[in-house]
């Protein structure tokens, strides 16, 4: 199993390297959907990483899927790959079929509430979800809603049917939409009772799990850049990596990255069913570290372009992670993951 996991991650790395370049990232920043990149990821089956084999997915363990999300952030993938992986896992776990194309999650703000009114021919949604990632660029949104009795449902909503009331890009230059679901009618095939694991907090813990892995992927990339630069930059006739002060700073940064990785890997698992175990909330010390003390965040506006791309993955610390600026709460006194 470990050999297979290594093969999957190695192939994913190779795929990202082959299809992601500066031009793709610049076009994504300008609002263009990288269709060729999504097609390559879809052909490789990455969006279905957590879907069981019996339903046509990859059937990967949650730890491998978490590493896949981490590697996607390492390579600055400008697509809702992580959201699609999570959405398909939750939807198929609730009894639905695989959702074709890119999928986003809603709501992502803990203050937003979507209500569901059941009818003879389906259900009608009411409410607004703010700061939805890729709200109009994804083909579908997986929406968490409750009826009048408080029962939880998952709804598969084609984004062609939704009304976007406000579009913006967050500090990480990712698209965010405010979506109005009032009066949106869905057929019975697009509505399914949610698994018990969603009853208390809905999609918030799963969004937090996504952001934690993406943050660690960004940290790893920043560490790679820092080490490469320290070995290449020559001062006083030798690489600056030979200076004790620089070695000390790199060691501190490496220690934070290692601690964050270990905490996320060993964090509690959020069990949804016997077939799906997903990473829950990270206890990573990076989540408790103030943004002004995190060097990659501090240099995001002045660093070389490649490094600046990677620091965006760490920006949930300052309000651009899962949803709105006070997004998914990270319990136990830890910082909120937000966006």
For range 62-85, the mean pLDDT: 93
Tell me which residue range forms the domain holding 28: 2-93
Lowest mean pLDDT among 44-58, 218-232, 244-258, 280-294: 280-294
Return all residues near 99 (Cβ < 8 A) that are at least 6 apart: 84, 87, 88, 91, 140, 142, 156
Question: How far separated are the first and last CA of the chain, in Å rounded?
Answer: 35
- 265-275 mean pLDDT: 48
> Is 78 a domain residue?
yes
Please check whether residues 210 and 192 belong to one and the same domain.
Answer: no
Is the per-residue pLDDT at 271 higher than 80? no
Number of domains present in the structure of the chain:
3
Dist CA 281 CA 212 (whole Å): 8
SS in 3 state form for 255-313? HHHHHHHHHHHHCCEEEEECCEEEECCCCCHHHHCCHHHCHHHHCCCCCCHHHHHHHHH
List strand residue ranges (DSSP E) for 56-209, in order: 103-106, 115-119, 122-126, 128-133, 140-146, 152-158, 163-169, 175-180, 184-186, 191-193
Looking at residue 243, the DSSP 8-state letter turns out to be S
Burial class (CB in 10 A: 0-12, 13-18, 19+), 140: buried
For residues 294 and 210, state if they share a domain: yes
Please report the pLDDT score of residue 39 as a whole number. 96
**Rounded CA separation 27/37 (Å):** 12
Which residues make Cβ contacts (< 8 Å) with residue 317, sequence separation at least 6?
215, 286, 287, 289, 291, 294, 297, 335
Is 32's pLDDT higher than 60?
yes
Q: What SS3 class is residue 132?
A: strand
Cβ distance 338 to 325 under 8 Å? Answer: yes
Q: Are 311 and 242 in contact (CB under 8 A)?
A: no
Confidence of residue 169 (pLDDT cuts 50, 70, 90): confident
Name the domain boundary from 144, 170, 198. 198
- Predicted confidence (pLDDT) at residue 27 exceeds the cutoff of 80: yes
**In the predicted model, what is the mean pLDDT of residues 52-80?**
91
pTM given for the model: 0.82
Average pLDDT on 178-196 reads 94
Lowest mean pLDDT among 1-5, 86-90, 189-193, 243-247: 1-5
Q: Give the SS3 label for residue 112.
A: coil
Residues 310 and 211 in one domain: yes
Query: Tens digits of per-residue pLDDT, 291-333?
Result: 334 444 344 444 455 666 666 666 554 444 454 334 433 433 3
2 vs 316, higher pLDDT: 2
Residues 274-283 have a mean pLDDT of: 41
pLDDT for 322 equals 55
What is residue 283's predicted lDDT score, i.e. its pLDDT?
38
**Is it true that the peptide bond before 195 is cis, omega within 30 degrees of 0?**
no
CB neighbours (10 Å) of residue 61? 15
Average pLDDT estimate for 235-263: 90
Q: Which residues in 315-331 are b (16+ Cβ under 10 Å) and which e?
A: bbbbbbbbbbeebbbbe
What is the reported pLDDT for 312?
65
Write the CA distances from 198 to 96, 151, 206, 270, integer angstroms: 16, 10, 9, 10
pLDDT confidence of residue 208: 85
How large a percentage of the chain has pLDDT more than 70? 77
pLDDT surpasses 90 at 138: yes
- Examine residue 217 and state whether it is found in any structural domain, yes or no: yes
The answer on 124 and 24 residing in a single domain is no
Residues 117 and 166 reside in one and the same domain: yes
Mean pLDDT of 167-195: 91
Q: Are residues 20 and 89 in the same domain?
A: yes
Give pLDDT tens digits for 195-238.
888 888 899 888 888 888 988 998 899 898 889 889 999 999 99
Task: Answer whether residue 144 shows pLDDT above 80.
Answer: yes
Q: By mean pLDDT, which of 46-50, 151-155, 156-160, 193-197 is the weakest?
A: 193-197
Specify the 3-state DSSP secondary structure of 81.
helix
Lowest-pLDDT choice from 83-87, 232-236, 249-253, 258-262: 258-262
One domain, residues 236 and 312: yes
- CATH number for the domain harbouring residue 218: 1.20.140.10
CA 9 to chain CA centroid, Å, is: 17
219 and 311 fall within a common domain: yes
Looking at the fold, whether 26 and 114 belong to one and the same domain comes out as: no
- Whether 34 and 132 map to the same domain: the answer is no
- Give pLDDT, residue 212: 86
Choose the final residue of a domain: 198, 231, 263.
198
């Amino acid at each position: 199993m470990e050999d297979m996991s290594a093969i999957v991650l190695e192939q994913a790395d190779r795929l990202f390297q082959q299809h992601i370049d500066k031009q793709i990232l610049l076009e994504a920043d300008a609002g263009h959907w990288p269709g060729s990149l999504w097609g390559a990821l879809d052909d490789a089956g990455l969006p279905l990483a957590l879907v069981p084999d019996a339903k046509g997915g990859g059937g990967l363990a949650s730890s491998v899927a978490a590493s896949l999300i981490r590697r996607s952030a390492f390579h600055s993938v400008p697509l809702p790959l992580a959201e699609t992986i999570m959405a398909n896992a939750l939807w198929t776990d609730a009894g639905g079929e695989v959702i074709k194309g890119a999928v986003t999650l809603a709501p992502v703000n803990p203050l937003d509430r979507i209500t569901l009114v059941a009818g003879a021919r389906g259900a009608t949604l009411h409410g607004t979800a703010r700061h939805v990632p890729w709200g109009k660029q994804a083909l579908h949104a997986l929406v968490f809603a409750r009826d009048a009795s408080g029962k939880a449902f998952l709804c598969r909503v084609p984004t062609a049917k939704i009304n976007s009331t406000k579009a913006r890009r967050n500090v990480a230059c990712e698209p965010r939409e405010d979506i109005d679901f009032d009066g949106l009618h869905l057929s019975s095939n697009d509505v399914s009772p949610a698994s018990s694991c969603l009853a208390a907090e809905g999609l918030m813990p799963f969004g937090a799990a996504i952001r934690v892995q993406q943050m660690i992927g960004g940290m790893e990339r920043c560490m790679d850049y820092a080490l490469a630069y320290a070995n290449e930059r020559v001062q006083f006739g030798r690489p600056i990596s030979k200076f004790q002060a620089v070695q000390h700073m790199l060691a501190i940064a490496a220690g934070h990255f290692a601690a964050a990785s270990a905490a996320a890997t060993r964090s509690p698992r959020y069990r949804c069913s016997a077939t799906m175990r997903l990473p829950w909330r990270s206890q990573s010390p990076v989540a408790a570290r103030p943004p002004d003390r995190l060097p990659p965040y501090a240099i995001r506006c002045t660093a070389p372009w490649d490094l600046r791309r990677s620091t965006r993955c760490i920006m949930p610390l300052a309000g651009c992670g899962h949803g709105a600026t006070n997004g998914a709460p990270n319990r136990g006194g830890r910082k909120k993951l937000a966006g």
